[in-house]
Amino acid sequence: MIDRVVFGREHDSLIRHLNAIGSSYEKMGEKQKVRCALYVGEGDATMSVLWVGCRDWLEVVLHELHYLACIIFGAVSYAIRYVFTRAQAIELYTKGLALTRTLHGEEHMDTATSLNNLGMAYDSMGKYKEAITYYEKALKIDQRVFGTNHPTVATTLNNLGLALQALGQHAKAVELYQKALLIKTTVLQSAGDPNAVDAEMAAMLNNLGTACFTLGFWDKAVGYLARACVVARAQLGDAHPDTKLYTANWKGAHAKLFGKAKP
């Protein structure tokens, strides 16, 4: 690998590339063939990597990469086909984590990012206990590095809640979702807009609503899911898959609470 020859085996550039490739593997799932098109940038000699896939995620733009990293993908200026697996994603994230720990130590935001990436990869495979282990490690580092009221901490709390909910630990998931939502709300509104929202907040509201619904708190579920729908429509539009999902969840909770579906 050119990155390894020029920069050495333990360099930030290589870590970013391993994480980027791993992220692609995770998104594409088992044995999805894709085409990688590399475009040489201007001035600072960077590249943008565009993965052209086979499904709804046809165009996913990943990180800008240093031009020397092209060999990691096996090509310079032409498209190449790969067969990606989640197992490969985990292998790359694991390498990225090892390099990050060597370079920066345990108490660094990049270490937390690598741990979170591994958690998401295991999560996508249904290996929730393994995912929880990595999420919890990432969370502890995030809290020490950023403090307790930071959007990165909110994201990790949300991810951890999803894994716990998948294992049936709904009450614990609700607790984590509430913490994540409070942090997210505080951060967004800190700029002075009391109505500030974003798409991630919609996801957190949906997660909190579905967990409350499972626990039988239908009135709370309807409230959270209704808010998720409002935020998603404003941020993503009515046609977005997430908006449709949240709306379906809200209708189901509303029907359970009031005995009929909401039109």
> CA-to-CA distance for 20 and 72, rounded, in angstroms?
11
Looking at residue 90, what is its pLDDT?
A: 83
In a domain, 43, yes or no: yes
In a domain, 80, yes or no: yes
In a domain, 81, yes or no: yes
In a domain, 76, yes or no: yes
Looking at residue 194, what is its pLDDT?
A: 85
In a domain, 151, yes or no: no
Residue 54: HSE in the Cβ half-sphere, 13 Å Cα cutoff: 11
* Residue pLDDT, tens place only, 150-195: 999 999 999 999 999 999 999 999 999 999 999 999 999 998 888 8
> CA-to-CA distance for 115 and 134, rounded, in angstroms?
5
The token pair at 165 is 């909910």
In a domain, 161, yes or no: no
For 78, the domain range is: 1-95
Backbone phi and psi for residue 59, each to the nearest 5 degrees, phi listed first: -125, 105
Q: What confidence tier does 258 reach under pLDDT thresholds 50, 70, 90?
A: confident
In a domain, 129, yes or no: no
Question: Quick check: 130 pLDDT over 70?
Answer: yes
In a domain, 57, yes or no: yes
Domain count, the chain: 1
* Residue pLDDT, tens place only, 13-33: 555 555 655 555 555 554 333
What pTM was computed for the model?
0.71
Question: Quick check: 115 pLDDT over 80?
Answer: yes
Alpha helices, H only, 108-259:
109-124, 128-146, 151-166, 170-189, 199-214, 218-235, 241-258
